[in-house]
Amino acid sequence: MNDYITQEEYDDVEDLVIKAIHANSKAGTEPYIKQLSFKKSHFCGTTATIYSQLVASVKSVAGRVADKDRRMIAVEQELHKLSWHIKE
C-alpha cells in the first residue's frame, strides 16, 4: 500500500472518473465505480482518504442527477487533491 499515487495510476483513475460521470444512467456507471472502488485498496493514509472522498463524489454525480454541475465541482476538487500525491 502506498501513501502516493503514480502518474499512470492517476491517469487510469481520471479516465474511470470521466467515464463514470458521463454515463447515461446509474447502472451504466456501476462497472467504473467497481473499478474505482477496487483500486482504493492500493492506497493508505492521506491518499486513501482523498481517494475515498473522490469515489463518494463520483457516486453522487454519476448518472442523471439534479444539480450535477455543483456536484461536479466536488469531483474536480478531489481529483485536484489527489494530483498533489503523485509521486514523481
Give the Å distances, CA to CA, from 28 to 3, 49, 61, 86. 30, 25, 13, 29
For residues 43-68, average pLDDT: 88
Where in the sequence is the domain holding 26, given as residue range(s)? 7-83
Residue 57: inside a domain: yes
**What pLDDT digit, counting tens, does each position of 64-79 carry?**
778 878 888 999 999 9
Residue 49: inside a domain: yes
For residues 10-38, average pLDDT: 92
Residue 88: inside a domain: no
- DSSP per residue, 7-40: HHHHHHHHHHHHHHHT-SSHHHHHHHHHHHHHHG
pLDDT for the residue numbered 83: 95
Give the model's confidence band at 80: pLDDT under 50 very low, under 70 low, under 90 confident, else very high. very high
Residue 2: inside a domain: no
Domain count along the chain: 1
For residues 27-55, average pLDDT: 92
pLDDT for the residue numbered 24: 84
Residue 76: inside a domain: yes
Residue 28: inside a domain: yes
